[in-house]
Amino acid sequence: MAAAACFLAAPSALARPPRPRARHSLRHLARAAAARPPAGPLALPASPRPLRDLAAGPVASAARRALAAAAGPLVVALASAALILGDAGGASAFVVATPRKLQADELATVRLFKDNTPSVVYITNLAVRQDAFTLDVLEVPQGSGSGFVWDKLGHIVTNFHVIRGASDLRVTLADQSVYEAQVVGFDQDKDVAVLSIEAPKDKLRPLPVGVSADLLVGQKVYAIGNPFGLDHTLTTGVISGLRREISSAATGRPIQDVIQTDAAINPGNSGGPLLDSSGNLIGVNTAIYSPSGASSGVGFSIPVDTVGGIVDQLIKFGKVTRPILGIKFAPDQSVEQLGLSGVLVLDAPPNGPAGKAGLQSTKRDAYGRLILGDIITSVNGTKVANGSDLYRILDQCKVGETVTVEVLRGDKKEKIAVVLEPKLDET
């Protein structure tokens, strides 16, 4: 029986796990983990203290001893994750708080726009229309454009085509206050008009007037407009050409020394100012070259040297005293078809300067045959090849000045002295 007991006890003893050895191994691992040095700058000291709160018992005790061996790396990983999350929050705060940085040229453009927008106004052109059903007379907007304050007296400068055909005009300032405007005067030939409003002087901020005679191709320009009356717009560019020539939309008379710019000039920007980099007025935006009607990067502005003289005359006299010959001439194509060069006089009224001097008009004889009138070939020794040349020469003359007009009459050339007279009043 004793032998049997010993036999039965032997398998039990053999199956029992070697606890002391396992206990020694776990204790050794725990000590090694505790003594392990920190793993880099983000590591925390390894300690098995957080594991003491585990439930008591044999299984829990074994688990406690097993987890204690990995406590060091686990705490390090958790601490690193927490530290990384904390750094991400700080980084996002820095990103949000970073202020916007602008370059020096951008700051200058922003400052120029803020300083000069109070001087740019919105102009509404109203026309009287009668309702077809009720027969009521209504004022209907037929056009709009921009303008700018010229002086503290309430004078507003814009294009003539902006106010053309208006029965009533309204000017909206930068603060959205609206005033009824009166027409002081206009110059159809140069597409310039001057209006007057009764507004407080503290709301009127005139633009500083610059000089356009010394402009250079390539210098920066800024076009400010108020095309819709809601807010101002700014387009920038450079002067792409000087001394260009365009025709007046009202009379077809050429406008010389026009500034060409690639700054976008939209239809609603007509009458607005063209500024240089110092914020000085150098031109009045008037037209674009575009067969499609969209801004194609070719805009034109009337130079301020031309505008200044016209505005001064309009404010003082209500009109421009520009000299004329007092003739009506044929289209340039008609003269070219005849194989000639010059300006063919169609009509020279007897009460006009040319008629008084003896220039002959085109007429028909008793048989209905066309008899050509005088063909002007030069004025004061300057050759005249077409109507634009004639206008260009007259723009350099003054009222009351006597000019020498050379004409081709039949097969002979004659020189006739003509005293220039002012242009008749326009309505």
Q: What CATH number did the domain enclosing 240 receive? A: 2.40.10.10
Q: Which residue, 317, 346, 375, sits at the end of a domain?
A: 317
**Does residue 26 lie within any of the structural domains?**
no
Q: Which of 293, 317, 341 delimits the end of a domain? A: 317
Q: Is the pTM of this model over 0.75?
A: no
Q: Are 382 and 397 in contact (CB under 8 A)?
A: no
Domain count, the chain: 3
Same domain, 299 and 334: no
Are residues 342 and 286 located together in one domain of the fold? no
With a CB cutoff of 8 Å and minimum separation 6, the contacts of 139 are 126, 127, 128, 129, 167, 168
* Domain assignment of residue 204, yes or no: no
Check whether residue 240 and residue 168 sit in a common domain: no
Looking at the annotation, which residues are catalytic?
161, 191, 270
- CATH number of the domain at 341, please: 2.30.42.10
Q: How far apart are CA 236 and CA 228, in angstroms?
A: 19
DSSP character for 325? -
Domain-ending residue, one of 298, 317, 336: 317
Q: Which residue has the tokens 């040229």?
A: 105
| pLDDT of res. 155 | 95
Domain membership of residue 56 (yes or no) is no
- Any domain includes 360: yes
Q: Which residues of 11-49 are buried (b: 16+ CB within 10 A; e: fewer)?
A: eeeeeeeeeeeeeeebeeebeebeeeeeeeeebeebebe
Phi, psi (5° rounding) for residue 45?
Answer: -60, 130
Do 259 and 311 fall into the same domain?
Answer: yes
Q: Does 137 reside within a domain? A: yes
Residue 373 lies in a domain: yes
Q: Is the domain of 159 the same as that of 238?
A: no
**Are 180 and 233 in a shared domain?**
no
Structure tokens at 62: 């074994």
Pairwise CA distance, residues 314 & 311, whole Å? 5
34 in any annotated domain? no
Cβ atoms of 42 and 83 closer than 8 Å: yes
Q: Say if 108 falls within a structural domain.
A: no
- pLDDT tens string, the chain, 427 residues long: the values are 444 444 444 444 444 555 545 444 555 555 655 555 554 444 444 444 444 444 445 555 555 565 455 555 544 444 444 444 444 444 444 444 445 688 888 899 999 999 999 999 999 887 665 555 555 555 555 667 899 999 999 999 999 988 888 888 989 998 889 999 999 999 888 889 999 999 999 999 999 999 988 899 999 999 998 876 667 888 899 999 998 888 887 777 788 889 999 888 876 788 899 999 999 999 999 876 555 555 556 889 999 998 998 999 899 888 888 888 989 998 888 888 888 889 999 999 999 999 999 999 999 888 888 888 999 999 999 999 988 888 888 888 888 899 999 999 988 999 999 999 887 654 4
Domain of 399, in residue numbers: 323-422
